[in-house]
Amino acid sequence: MHGPAMLNDFVTSADIAPEVWDLRPDYRAMLLAVDGIQRGSRDAAGEALLQAAEVLARAALAQTAVEDLPHVAAWREAYRAFGAKPQRTRNSLEALLRRAEAGLPRVNRLTDIYNAISISHQIPLGGEDLNQYAGPPRLVRATGAESFDTTSEGAEVIEHPEPGEVVWCDDAGVTCRRWNWRQARRTQLHEGTTAALFIIDVLDPVTDEELAVATDELIGHLRALGTDVQVAQRLIRAG
């Protein structure tokens, strides 16, 4: 088990390259390193969170097209800035919102929690297995040589990001492509995950206060998943 000092060292050693700030100086990343989570399957609490998130999403989309929601639109602009086409590769928030009418995916207990909070606060949010990390997380613009392990038509494959693409990575390769589009298989959360990294991505017009509310809600749900849950958090911003 990672102690408080190790969790704090992990988030403290995370880094965002200056080239990313050049694209979006308003970008902020809230990192949460969590340990002491008890293993468990999907439960009623997670299902209730997803159902509540679906209600909120449907209400929001009854008034506004998904691509016109302010934070979705901001992420579409960010994707275009590094050459991605948002109509083809949607940021994680937009992808979830577009599934809300038919029903959000039910995956596993940890993923259900962060997906529900992502939708409820309209903020991209991802989670990964901390024990599968090799070194600290870094957000960079890819060279194109980095490896990304994923699946294609049911088969395991290694892909490579486009040069200039914004990616999260560690010493072993890319952990998430296109900022918050698709996660690697290696670090995916599962029912046996006991330590996790959560990354909350924020652009204007989302405020620091709104980010803090979403962060506190996520921490509250995570602390309910074990008597010894420990959390280290760090907000990274330009300057």
pLDDT at 171: 97
Closest CA to 137 of 29, 27, 5: 29
3-state secondary structure of 208: helix
Distance CA 121, CA 181 (A): 18
Distance CA 96, CA 111 (A): 12
- The answer for residues whose C-beta is within 8 angstroms of residue 123's C-beta and 6 or more apart is 71, 93, 117, 200, 201, 202, 206, 210, 211, 214
CA distances from 194 to 99, 125, 189, 231 (A): 28, 19, 9, 12
Contact call for residues 231 and 222 (beta carbons, < 8 A): yes
In the block, which residue shows the tokens 């999403």? 57
Please, what is the average pLDDT of the chain? 96
In the block, which residue shows the tokens 């506190």? 216
129 φ/ψ angles, rounded to the nearest 5 degrees:
-75, 115
Burial 64-86 (b: 16+ CB within 10 A, else e): eebeebebbbbbbebbeebebeb
Give pTM, 2 decimals.
0.97
pLDDT at 1: 67
Contact call for residues 179 and 213 (beta carbons, < 8 A): no
| Residue 98 DSSP one-character state | T
- DSSP class per residue in 33-53: EEE-PPP----HHHHHHHHHH
pLDDT at 3: 83
Low-confidence stretches of the chain (pLDDT beneath 50): none
3-state secondary structure of 84: coil
Distance CA 38, CA 236 (A): 28
Domains and CATH numbers, the chain: 4-237 (3.50.40.10)
Biggest CA pair distance of the chain: 46
